[in-house]
Structure 1
Amino acid sequence: MFHTVIEPRVSETDGVGHINNTVIPVWFEAGRNGLFQLFNPDHSFSDWKMIILSMNVEFKNQLYFGKKAEVYCWIKRIGNSSLELYEEIHQDGTLCAKGTAVYVNYNVHEKQSESIPSDIRYALEKHLYEN
């Protein structure tokens, strides 16, 4: 599992007093930095590999400014060229949001997907989600 701590900002708080729903996908993406590191160790956007195909967010409880939030990201499924993530955001020990995302390993120069290399596949297997 990848784990990231987020410190909510005032600007992410909406008029109702909780973190705005549009912020949650951004926090989920921040929780994927360890995953991105596996595919793009040099962080180069000129050869970026991870292209998002879909994402889903389910809101369970409100999140608030002034309390750290924890993002957890697991690998749910590994395909030939794609992978599915399962993610959660917790605050004060409470599940506040969960979701899934599907990414494909993509060659931007050839404009096509490519198989996930075996060394990366091995590293991904260390982060598999177990129900």
Structure 2
Amino acid sequence: MYKTVIEPRVSETDGVGHINNTVVPVWLEAGRNPLFKLFTPDDNFHHWKMIIINMNIDFKSQIYFGTNVEICTWVEKVGNSSLKLYEEVWQSDTLCATGHTTYVNFNVEKQVSERIPDDIRSELENHLYEEH
């Protein structure tokens, strides 16, 4: 599992007093930075490989300004060229959101998906989700 700590910002708080739901996808993406680094170590968008093809988020509890949030990111499944993630958002020991996101390993220049290399596949398998 990959863990990322997010400090909620005032600007992310909406008029109801909680973190706006539109912020959560951005936070989940921040939790994927170690995965992006596996596929594109130089962070160069000309060499970018991970293209999102699906994302679903279930909101479980409100999130508030003033208390850090932890993003937990697991690999749920590794396919030939795709990767499915399971993600959780926690604040103060409360599960606030869960997500499932699918990426494809994509060659932008050739406009085709490519098989996930064995070395990356091996690293991804170290982070497989095992249901609690």
What is the TM-score of this pair, normalised by structure 2?
0.99
Give identity over the alignment, percent. Answer: 64
Corresponding residue number in structure 2 for 1:106: 106
State the distance in 2 between where 1:91 and 1:35 align: 23
Counterparts of residues 82-93 of structure 1 (less than 5 Å): 82-93=82-93
Distance 1:117 1:111 in 2: 17
Secondary structure at the aligned position of 2:22 is classed as helix
1:127, CA displacement in angstroms? 0.4
CA RMSD, 1 decimal = 0.3
| Residue number in structure 1 paired with 2:73 | 73
Match status 1:4 vs 2:4 = yes
CA distance in 2, matches of 1:2, 1:33: 9
| Distance in structure 1 (CA, Å) of the matches to 2:54 and 2:125 | 21
Aligned partner of 2:36 in structure 1 is 36
Counterpart CA distance in 1 for 2:34 and 2:74 is 11
**Consecutive unaligned residues in structure 2, runs of 5 or more:** none
Task: Tell me the distance in 1 between the aligned counterparts of 2:38 and 2:67.
Answer: 30
- 1:25 Cα shift? 0.3
Structure 1 residue ranges without an equivalent (≥5) = none
